[in-house]
Amino acid sequence: MAEKNPVPGTGGERYVPYEERDGNESIVYFTRDLSAAGLRKAYEQVAGEVRGRVGVKVHTGEQHGPNIIPREWVAELMAADLPGAAIVETNTYYDGDRYTTEKHRETLEVNGWTFAPVDILDEEGVTAFPVAGGKWFDAVHMGSHLADYDSLVVLTHFKGHTQGGFGGSAKNIGIGCADGRVGKAEIHTTPGSDDQWDIKTEEFMERMMESAKAVCDHFGRRITFVNVMRNMSVSCDCEGTAAAPVVTPNVGILASTDILALDQACVDLVYAMREEDHHDLVERMETRHGLRQLSYMRELGVGNWRYALLDLDALGARIEPADAVAHVVPFAG
């Protein structure tokens, strides 16, 4: 196990341009169609290995949260493409609308997540998932029910994050599958600290990515990822109605079987926007050193940070990030 290093030094505040990245390319699919049909179109490109008992990891949000993925989109996707699947969530580390299983289920009702079963993964305890090659962990504690699933569909609202800089697929499983008391504490808090959130910047990103790797390793080829670039506040959906106003334009939906390629592509699309359109979200990523998520996933061998971006609206033609955001208009609220 590594000793805590309080000195950031791995460049999480610096964006790495595509030409500076090494390694192989993965496939990332893209559509501008922000609708239930667009969500299904993106998911169907990456659904080939999903089978058995399926969990759908989606951030269901605090009560009345305005920016989460629309419930009706998820309902249509699950009815058409994932019959019999369950939405999976864990309780929160902070004292809010989802802190206990009882409060969590009340919030699910308020927010309309009533069209499919919802499994609170840590309702009956925790299971340690091993971390291969980690610097901070040998294992991270997940909600025990996660081990009951054969496949995992990671359906993520891509947005900013108060501590992580941004929240993509890796944050969705790295934090979102860790149980609310033990696993999330392992990622956020130095044992004995009076500050619940004392682990920040590079160390926080690395711990979160090791947790995400544990989930990816557990499912192997039977995990797949879809990111929705819509209503991208600099705040996480954990902040609910207190989230900062959205000023970043909507973009589209991306999907991949490679978690790093997908989150990297979403970050690249943000950086490819005009300065006035991406300023707030880029500032949030860089000031929190959130880009360390990407470089550390690369170091852990979780995926590729080079990719081919295929445009589903143009018969799968390869495009550049600038092409994917050429249509965006200032967010109108």
The answer to whether residue 331 sits within a structural domain is no
The answer to whether residue 329 sits within a structural domain is no
Residue 60 buriedness (CB in 10 A; 0-12 / 13-18 / 19+): buried
What pLDDT, on a 0 to 100 scale, did the predictor assign at position 6?
38
d(CA 145, CA 164): 26
d(CA 247, CA 314): 28
Domain of residue 219, residue span: 26-324
CB 242 within 8 A of CB 222: no
Sign (positive or negative) of CA dihedral 182, 177, 161, 217: positive
d(CA 47, CA 152): 10
The answer to whether residue 57 sits within a structural domain is yes
Give the tokens for residue 127. 């299971």
In 131-272, at which residue ranges do the beta strands (DSSP E only) sit?
139-143, 151-157, 159-161, 165-167, 223-229, 252-256
Q: For residue 253, give the amino acid letter.
A: I
d(CA 134, CA 127): 18
Residue 178's SS3 state is strand
d(CA 108, CA 118): 8
CB 31 within 8 A of CB 40: no
What CATH number does residue 217 fall under?
3.40.50
What pLDDT, on a 0 to 100 scale, did the predictor assign at position 9?
44
Question: Look-up: residue for tokens 């106003």?
Answer: 245
- Name the domain count of the chain: 1
- Residues forming beta bridges with residue 254, ordered by sequence position: 30, 227
d(CA 321, CA 122): 38
What pLDDT, on a 0 to 100 scale, did the predictor assign at position 244?
84
The answer to whether residue 2 sits within a structural domain is no
The answer to whether residue 13 sits within a structural domain is no
What pLDDT, on a 0 to 100 scale, did the predictor assign at position 5?
41
The answer to whether residue 76 sits within a structural domain is yes
What pLDDT, on a 0 to 100 scale, did the predictor assign at position 2?
41
Nearest to 235 by CA among 65, 79, 108, 104: 65
The answer to whether residue 89 sits within a structural domain is yes
Nearest to 157 by CA among 235, 222, 93, 218: 235
The answer to whether residue 8 sits within a structural domain is no
| 259-272 helix and 292-300 helix, angle to the nearest 10 degrees | 150
Alpha carbon 258 to its chain's center: 12
Nearest to 294 by CA among 1, 21, 27: 21
Encode the chain (333 residues) as per-residue pLDDT tens digits: 444 443 344 689 999 999 999 999 999 999 999 999 999 999 999 999 999 999 999 999 999 988 899 999 999 999 999 999 999 999 999 999 999 999 999 999 999 999 999 999 999 999 999 999 999 999 999 999 999 999 999 999 999 999 999 999 999 999 999 999 999 999 999 999 999 999 999 999 999 999 999 999 999 999 999 999 999 999 886 766 777 889 999 999 999 999 999 999 999 999 999 999 999 999 999 999 999 999 999 999 999 999 999 999 999 999 999 999 999 998 876
d(CA 273, CA 109): 37
What pLDDT, on a 0 to 100 scale, did the predictor assign at position 4?
43
